[in-house]
Structure 1
Amino acid sequence: MDCVFCKIVDGKIPAKVIMESKNSIAFLDAFPVAEGHTLVIPKKHYEKLQFVSSEDNADLFGLVHKIIPKVDALTGASLVAIHNGKEAGQEVPHVHIHLIPRHQSDSAGAVHSMFANRPKLTDSEFSNLQEKLKTL
C-alpha cells in the first residue's frame, strides 16, 4: 500500500509523535497550517470514518480527547476537523483528524465562511431532508 500515514505507522517515514495508544497515533502535521497542527489517525488503514471499526473508533476519539487539551494549551482554542473523502477535501485517503490551534488573527474564520454558495432551504425542504436522512 502506498499510504503515507501507513508508512508513518510502520516506521518507514519519520514523524514527530506526540502520543500513541493501542490502535491510534498522534503526530505533528508535516505541512502545518498553524504551529502545533496535529493529526490523529487510526493505525489500521481506513479511507473514511464510517468504515472504522467500533473498537478503533473508540480508541481514535479517546486519543483525540487526550490530545485536544495539549493543542488548546498553545492558544486557548483549536479547530477539530475531519475531511471524510476526497470531495470533502481529504488529501490523504486514510482517516485523520486535524487538531489545529486557532488564533483570533489567523484569518481562517468559521466553517460557514468556507462556503460561498450555501443552500437556502425552506422549512419544507428541511423536513424532506430530515426524513430522507432518517430513512437512508
Structure 2
Amino acid sequence: MGCLFCEIVEGVRDAHVVLDVPEAVAFLDTRPLFKGHTLLVPRVHYETLTDLPVEEVGPFFGYAQRLAGAMEEVLGAAGSFVAMNNRVSQSVPHLHVHVVPRNWKDGLRGFFWPRQKYDSGTEAAEYAARLAAAFG
C-alpha cells in the first residue's frame, strides 16, 4: 500500500495544490476544519518530525510560516492554527503540518473540532488558487 501524500507529491493523485516547490508541497485538506485548511508536506517521505533532517527543519517551517501569513493576508482570517501529530492521531504516516485559518468565535474549542466541506471541487480550487497566489 502506497503513501497517499507521496501520491499527491508525485502527481499520481489529484489535490488542490497551494504550493509546489523542490522541498515541499502544500495542498488543501479534503476534510477541512475551515475552508482554506492546508497540509504542508516535505516532498521526500519522512514519517515524523524527528525523521526530518535537522538542516531541512528551518526551510520546511519557513513555508508553514508563509502559509500562516497567507491565511490572514489572502483569506482575511484573524489568525491561524498550525499543528502536527507524530504517530498518535497522524492519519497519514507522512510528516504533515496543518495550517488552518482561524477567526474569533469560529467554533474551534479544545480538540473537538468541527469539520466543514467545500460546496464543490470548484470552490476548493478557488481557495487553493487564492492561497497559491500568495507565493507569487
Q: TM-score, normalised by structure 1?
A: 0.73
Q: Give the fraction of aligned pairs with identical amino acids, expressed as a percent.
A: 37
2:85 aligned partner: 83
The SS at the match of 1:55 is helix
5+ unaligned residues in a row in structure 2: which ranges? 113-136
5+ unaligned residues in a row in structure 1: which ranges? 116-136
1:11 aligned partner: 11
CA positional deviation for 1:72: 2.3
The number of equivalent residue pairs is 110
CA positional deviation for 1:58: 2.5
The SS at the match of 2:2 is coil
- Runs of 4 or more consecutive aligned structure 1 residues displaced over 4 Å after TM superposition: none
**RMSD, aligned CA:** 1.7
Q: Which amino acid aligns with 2:85?
A: H
The one-character-per-residue Cα deviations of 1:74-125 (angstroms, maximum 9, x if unpaired) are 212110011111x2x111110000001112232212xxx349xxxxxxxxxx
Which structure has the higher relative contact order (CA within 8 Å, separation 6+)?
2
Answer 1 or 2: which has greater helix percent.
1
1:27 aligned partner: 27
Q: TM-score, normalised by structure 2?
A: 0.73
**Higher Cα Rg: structure 1 or 2?**
1
CA distance in 2 between counterparts of 1:107 and 1:31 reads: 16
